[in-house]
Amino acid sequence: MARRRARALRPDAALFVDLGFVLALVAVAAFAAWPIYETWYLAVTVAGATALSALVVFTGIVRRWSWLSIAGCLAGGYLVFGVPLAIPSAFTSRADFLAGYRELLAATVQSWKRLITVEMPVGHFQALLVPLLITMLVCTAVAFSIVFGRARWYGALVPVMLMPNAFAIAFGTTANGLALHLGPITVAAPRHVLVGVLALGIAGGFLVWRAQHARTLALREAAAASGIRRSGGTAVGNVRRIASAAAVALVGLLVAVPLSSTALPSQRHVLSDAVDPVSRLNQYTSPLTTYRAAFESTGGDPYNSPVLTYKGDAQQLGRLRLATMSFYNGQQFTVLPNDSDRASAFSHMPQLTSSNHDSGLASLDVTIGKAFDDALGSSAWLPTVNGLSAIGFTGKNVNQLTDGFYYNDKLQSGAELAGLSAGDSYTLRAKPQARPAPLASVTPPVGAVPETDTIPDSLTQWVQAQGVGGGGQGLAELIDRLRARGFLSHSLEDPGLGTASAPTWRELQKNNPFEQSLAGESMDRIGDLFSDLLRQQQQAGADAAPEQLVAGVGDDEQFAVASALIAESLGFPARVVLGFAISDSVTDASSIPACSGGVCEGKNLTAWVEVRGADQKWVAFNTTPQHKIPLAKKPENTSVPKVPTQVQQHVATVQPPPEANPSGGDHQNNEHTPKSPAGPAVWLPVLRIGGTVVLALLVLVAPLLALMLVKVVRRRERRSAPSATDRVASGWDELVDTAVDLGLPAQGVRTRAETAALYAAASRATDSSTLRTLAHGADAAVFGAFDPTPDEADRFWTQLDEQRVRLAAAFPRWRRLLALISLRSFRTGGGER
C-alpha cells in the first residue's frame, strides 16, 4: 500500500498520458451530449463531475482509504453538490434550493426514463442533467482509480471512458442531421461520424502509445540489468512509422465513412423509440363534443362568466387556440388519431418553457377564470397561440405547471396534465400573425387525393349541385353558401332570452323563432344537415332567393366539421380548431363575437377550420352559420322531386377515446401527401441491407486487417533496417515474435541459443542446427567485434524466413490463423524482452 501511495504521488509520462486520455474523452462526451441539452450549463455539470471524482479518488488513494470508503465519499459528494451541478432551477429561491435536494433524490431514479420522453433539446428542464452527472461521476471515478492507482490493466480505461459517449448516443436524438458533401464523398451524419472518429481515434492512439511505452520501459530495464544497450531507431524511421500509421488510419476513414453514409437510415434508433410513456390524455374526450356546455346559462352560467382573462398584444395574435383536431373517425374530430402513434403525440418541449426574449415577439398574459371547467369540462387542453415561441408559467404552481406542460408543434396545440384551476396564469410569446391570405387564393397541395371514406354521400351531392369549380375559389364559395343557408342553434330546448344582466345565446336571434338543433358531429348528423340543404334547394329551385334556401340547423360543432369535410372532398388537408377570437379583425357579422375587455366568456367560444395549401401554410376561415334569417318555410303541398335524392345512412363504429402519448418525435396530422407510385424499386432496400452488412463486416474485420498490416510493416522495417547489425538482430526478434504469436514462450531471460533449442523441441518441422546457427549469428552481430556484411544479413533473413514457415507448419491451421491476429508479441515484447 505504501508503494501504491508513492506511485500515486510520483508523476511520470504515463500518468500524464492517462490523465490526458481521460480528459480528452470527457470533452468528446460533452460534445456528443450537446444535442441532448443545448445549454451551456452542460459544461458546469461535466466539469464539476470530473473535478469531484478526481478529488475524491486522489484523496482516497493518497490517504489509503478502502474502495468502500471512496465510494461512500463519492456518494456524499453527489448528494452535496448534485443540486448546484445539475439543477440550476433550484437557485430561484431559498425554498426551491432546499426542494432541489428532494428533486435530486427523485431524479436519481426517475430522470433516466423521463429523459427519453422529452422533446430535445431538454436544457436543464426537470433535473434532466442528473443522468449525465451520474454517468460522468461514475465513469471518471473508475477511470481516475485506474490512473492514480497505477494499475497494470490500463486498457480498461478505454471501455470505461467510452461509456459517456454511449450515453450520448443512446439517449440522443434520432435525426442524423444535414449531410456533408466533400467532393465525391458524402457524410450522412457528420456530427455522429466526428464523435466516433474522435472517440475511437483517441482510444486507439492511447493504446498504441501505452504499448510502445511499456516496450520502451522493458528495454530500458533489460539494458540496465545486462549493461548491453541497443541502438535506438533513427528519426527518419520514427517519422516513417508515424506516417505509415497515419496513412493506414486515413485509408480506413476514406473507406468507412462513405460506406457508412450509404448504409445509415434517415433516422437513428435510440432508446426513446422503444419507450411509450403513459399519459392521462386518454381520459379526455374531444373538446368539440362538449362545445355546447359553454352556452348553457344554468348552474355556473359559463355563458356569462369569465373562462379566462388576458392582457397584452391581442390584436397582433388574433386568436387563442384551445385544441386542434385533425383526425376524423366518422364519429368525431379528435386531437389524436385512434392508433395514437408516437409521431402525432404531445411531448415535453423544454425549449418552449425556457426564457425567450427575442425581439419582435408579441406577448400575451393569460389567467384561467372560474368558469373554465364549466365551459370546457375537466379539460387538459391549454389555450395557446399560433406560432408559439415560448411559454412561462407564473404563480405558486409554476413548477408543477411547467412539468405538466406538453405540446404538439405540428398541431400548434398544448396540453396541461398537472390540471388547471382558477387563478393559474402564464405568458405566451409568439411572432405576430400576418393577415391570412384570402381563402379563394389557396390552391390544394400538388398530388393531394380527396378523402372519401368519411364523407357523407349527401355532402358530395350537395357540392355537385352547387355547380362551382374546385380549388380555393370553389371552396370559398361553398363555405359562404353553407354559412348563409344554415341557422345558428345551440340546443334542443329554448333557453329563453334571459335577463339584461344574464342573457342567453338566444339574444343573438331574439327576433327569430327558436329552432331545435341536435348535437353531434357523426357522419349521420352531418349527412342529415346536407340532406336538409339539398332537399330545400331542390324544392325551392336553383334561382330561389337566399332566404328561401335556409334549411340547415346547428352551431360551430356541426358547421366546422361540415366545412372541414367539404375541404377534404376538394383535396385540401383540413383541421378544426376550438378556441377564442381575441381580435375583431378575425371575425365577421355571422361569427361568434370576439372576446372584449380582456375577458373571454363562454359565449365567445368558437370553432374554425384551417386548410393547408400548396405552399404548406395553413389558412383559417370562420364557419359559424348566420343567425339573422330564419329557416325557410316548407311549401304546404310539396311534391316528390323528379330525381329523388338517396341519402345513404352510414353506420360508423364507435371508437374509444384515443390514447395520448406525451412523448417526443416528429409530429403528424391529417395531412395529405401525394401517394407514392406503385411498385417501388426493389434494388433500393437490397442495396441498403447489403451496405449495412458490408459495413458491419468492415467494422468487424477492419481491426484484424489493420493488425495484420501492422505486423507486415514491422517485418519490413526490421528487414530494411539501416545497418546490417540491426537487420540481423531485429531478424531474430521477428522469429521470436512469430513463435510467441503461435503460443510459444517469449525469450525472457533465456539466451538466444537456449531459445533456439526450446523452439526446435516445440516444432519438429524446424531445423535445430539452422536455428542454432541463427542464434549464434544474432549474438555475433550484437556482441561481436565486427559488424556483419549486408550479404550476410540477407542470407540471415533468407534462412530466417524458411525457419518461420517451418515453425508455423507444426501447428494446426486454426492456430496459424489466430497467430496472424495475435497481440501476444506486442504485449510481451517478443524478442525485445
The residues with which 690 forms a beta bridge, in sequence order, are none
Q: Convert the pLDDT of each residue in 751-808 to its tens digit.
A: 888 888 888 887 776 777 888 888 888 888 888 777 888 888 888 989 888 888 888 8
Lowest model confidence (mean pLDDT) among 155-164, 308-317, 348-357, 406-415: 348-357
Asked if 810 and 765 touch (Cβ cutoff 8 Å), the reply is: yes
Cα within 13 Å of Cα(352), Cβ side: 28
Residue at 111: amino acid letter: S
Torsion 563-568-573-575 (CA) sign? positive
Q: Convert the pLDDT of each residue in 628-658 to its tens digit.
A: 999 987 655 444 444 444 444 444 444 444 4
Per-residue pLDDT at 221 exceeds 80: no
Model confidence band, residue 242 (pLDDT cutoffs 50, 70, 90): low
Radius of gyration of the CA atoms of the chain, in A:
39
Pairing of strands 362-368, 306-312: antiparallel
- What is residue 121's DSSP assignment? P
Q: Where are the domains of the chain?
A: 2-227, 280-430, 721-832
Query: How high is the pLDDT of residue 274?
Result: 43
- What is residue 513's DSSP assignment? -
Per-residue pLDDT at 176 exceeds 60: no
Residue 318: all three cell numbers together: 388574433
Cis ω before 121 (30° cut-off from 0)? yes
Query: How high is the pLDDT of residue 659?
Result: 41
Residue 505: all three cell numbers together: 345565446
Spatial separation of the C-alpha atoms in residues 263 and 349, rounded to whole Å: 31
Residue 801: all three cell numbers together: 524466413
Report which of 519, 510, 508 is spatially closest to residue 603, judged by C-alpha positions.
Answer: 508
Share in percent of the chain as helix, strand, coil (round to 5): 55, 10, 35
Lowest model confidence (mean pLDDT) among 51-55, 270-274, 433-437, 815-819: 270-274
Q: What b/e sequence results for 805-817 when a residue is b if at least 16 CB atoms lie within 10 Å of its CB, and e otherwise?
A: ebbbeebeeeeee
Task: Enter the pTM of the model.
Answer: 0.56
Residues 6 or more apart whose CB falls under 8 angstroms from that of 621 comprise 439, 476, 479, 563, 608, 609, 610, 611
Query: How high is the pLDDT of residue 660?
Result: 42
**For the residues 25-41, what does the mean pLDDT come to?**
87
Query: How high is the pLDDT of residue 151?
Result: 65
Q: Convert the pLDDT of each residue in 243-291 to its tens digit.
A: 665 665 555 555 555 545 444 444 454 555 444 433 456 667 788 888 9
Spatial separation of the C-alpha atoms in residues 687 and 261, rounded to whole Å: 12
CB neighbours (10 Å) of residue 615?
Answer: 11
Q: Convert the pLDDT of each residue in 326-356 to its tens digit.
A: 889 888 998 877 655 444 567 777 767 765 5
Query: How high is the pLDDT of residue 666?
Result: 40
